A and B are shown apart, each in its own frame.
Chain A
Amino acid sequence: MSPRPLTRLRHAGSYFVLAVATIIALFPIFWTMSTSLKQIVDALSIPPKFIGFHPTLHNYSRLFHTPGFGTAYVTTLEVTLGSALLTVVVGSLAAYPIARRWRFLGRRPLEASLVIIRAIPPIVLMVPLFNLVINHGLYDEPLTLIVVYSAFNLPFAVWMMVSFIQQIPYELEESGEVDGASRLRILVHLVLPLAAPGLAATTILISLIAWNEFLIPLVLAGNSTRTLPLLISTFVQSRTIDWGVMTAGATITILPIAILTVFAQRSLVSGLGLGAVKE
């Protein structure tokens, strides 16, 4: 289209809107991070100090020394990576027959179950799960968290992998069949290697969701399996809130995600985009 002056104006308008939206999106993050680096005096000063304060790591040192912080961080890592692995493996396996649209025993019920897991408010399942977990001595166990996380994230993983698998031409599998490979071999040696970028995007996204989980550990985790989100939520429950430690905690929690977004942006968007349209 011809770059008439009107179009230039429209472009400027677009950039303005995007800039405003970006400020709205990033300011809270920036504010929290900068507050976490402020001494209490600066953090609580009115008018707020956007810049021009003396940074300190005091809040972080207090954060790291908070009882349970270390275990919380480690547990969160453990549970996140463990459940991501489980989810992606189980999800990819299940996604394969669904992606190729074969009819098989239990297909419809499985698809329906995945929809229900995705749509049902988790609290509905947490109430009975709590009971079951306690009764079977599975309370406060990382493995319990891993399994429950995986179940809740399974629909995402399956639907994302279905989209990615469908992008791989079926002829490759047919040629594998002719070459004598079993269905499992075809999946593991032909399909998944080619779906590697999709696998990566799915793993990243599922890890992210697992990292952010709150209600599940709130109900099923005890003192030794407390996760990071759980820990930082206690920072606002006392009468006097230590804003420095709280903002430091929030920053530590979201920092991996922020970094990931910057560096794995393309992977994330492709995963989200495909998953979104498929849904």
Chain B
Amino acid sequence: MTAETKPLRPTARMWARTKLPLVAFTLPAWGLVVAVLAIPIVSAVSLSVQNQSLDLFGPATYVGFANFRTDVLTSAFVHSLVVTAIFITIGLLVQIPVGLWLATILHRELRGTRFFRSALLMPMLLTPVAVGLMWRFMFNSDLGVIDWFIRSTGLTQVDWLGSANGGFASILIVNSWQNVPFVMLFMLAGLQALPKEPFEAAEVDGAGGWQSFRYITLPLLRPVLLIVTMIMIVEGFKLFDIVYVITNGGPGTATQNLSLLDYRVGFTFLATSRGAAIGVVMALMLTPAYILWTRATRE
């Protein structure tokens, strides 16, 4: 007697046994995501097309794209966008080469590397607000140690906190001070993941230090460089704490980047709807980043 075997159909019970636990594991995460991401985003979009403001009483009304016209398509927004772009671009130009340079030195694993690594690591872990305060003290025109140093070595004076260029410079310096360790660690991980043999072969083939770096190391590090650049761009848009504490966007609005602008509009002016509008545009501007990042993490 042979029994006919029916093909196995995925039953609800099987799904409950295998896949349900997995979904259950992700539910708490979903809870956080919905509460802090999904709902606020929907709320932001809805706010942006109203005219809600915290200093006005009475319900808000639908105003269409008015907020976008008053806050996004304006010189203030564009100015903040430019400020953000400058911070990011110059930041990259400084932080990536320096970070890479330090990473190649650490990669040589000379004695004491561990000590240097933890020392160089510290700036990136410290509280940005505290870091801002530390540097603000050092940048102070009369009392700061930096000005004293400049005066005694005879270089040109810079009004760090009172001039637009000085403000830019001071924020770039502090931002780089905090970011270079991150780039350095990231590139170090990248360097350590490279296979050793092609380098030996290159040495036998006659490549010197710089040639080996240019023709072998750099091309092989390209994916890592791209990822770290993307991360730094995203972080650049987020920059807030340091600017708030050191220049607060000043002098005037010279160093006011997008995050600071949005904060000002949404909280200092209490115009939540207008703030929401700015935020929505900011979020949309980063869409290419979301896509690239998701693709990168999937590998």
> A contacts B directly in the complex (CB < 8 Å)?
yes
List residues of chain A with CB under 8 Å of any chain B CB. 10-11, 14-15, 17-18, 21-22, 24-26, 28-29, 31-32, 35, 43-44, 46-48, 89-91, 93-94, 96-97, 102, 104-107, 110-132, 147-148, 150-152, 154, 158-159, 182-184, 187, 208, 211-212, 214-215, 219, 228-230, 232-233, 235-236, 243, 246-247, 249-250, 253-254, 257-258, 260-262, 265, 268-269, 272-273, 276-279
Q: Are A22 and B40 in contact (CB under 8 A)?
A: no
Q: With contacts A29-B134, A150-B32 known, what are 11 further pairs, Cβ within 8 A? A: A21-B120, A47-B152, A89-B28, A110-B26, A129-B40, A131-B43, A187-B25, A261-B122, A269-B118, A272-B185, A277-B224
Q: Are B47 and A131 in contact (CB under 8 A)?
A: yes
Q: Are A154 and B29 in contact (CB under 8 A)?
A: yes
Q: Are A31 and B145 in contact (CB under 8 A)?
A: yes
Q: Are A128 and B276 in contact (CB under 8 A)?
A: yes
Residue in contact with B293 in the complex, picked from A43, A119, A208, A262, CB distance below 8 Å: A119
Q: Which of B193-219 contact A (CB under 8 A)?
A: 193, 209
Q: Are B267 and A219 in contact (CB under 8 A)?
A: yes
Residue in contact with B19 in the complex, picked from A10, A104, A128, A129, CB distance below 8 Å: A104
Q: Are B129 and A233 in contact (CB under 8 A)?
A: yes
Q: Are A215 and B241 in contact (CB under 8 A)?
A: yes
Q: Are A94 and B29 in contact (CB under 8 A)?
A: yes
Q: Are B39 and A132 in contact (CB under 8 A)?
A: yes
Residue in contact with B276 in the complex, picked from A91, A96, A127, A182, CB distance below 8 Å: A127
Q: How far is it, in angstroms, between the C-alpha of A26 and the C-alpha of B110 when the chains are bound?
A: 20
Q: In the assembled complex, how far is the CB of residue A155 from the closest CB belonging to chain B, in whole angstroms?
A: 10
Query: Given A47-B148, A90-B28, A104-B19: A25 and B40 within 8 A (CB)?
Result: no
Q: Are B121 and A269 in contact (CB under 8 A)?
A: yes
Residues of A within 8 A of B142 (CB): 46
List residues of chain B with CB under 8 Å of any chain A CB. 19, 21-23, 25-26, 28-33, 35-41, 43-44, 47, 52, 101-102, 105-106, 108, 110, 112, 114, 116-123, 125-138, 142-143, 145, 148, 152, 177, 181-182, 185-186, 188-190, 193, 209, 224, 227, 231, 234, 237-238, 240-241, 244-245, 258-259, 262-263, 266-267, 272, 275-276, 279-280, 282-283, 286, 289-290, 293-294, 296-298
Q: Are B120 and A254 in contact (CB under 8 A)?
A: no
Residues of A within 8 A of B266 (CB): 123, 126-127, 130
Q: Are A212 and B127 in contact (CB under 8 A)?
A: yes
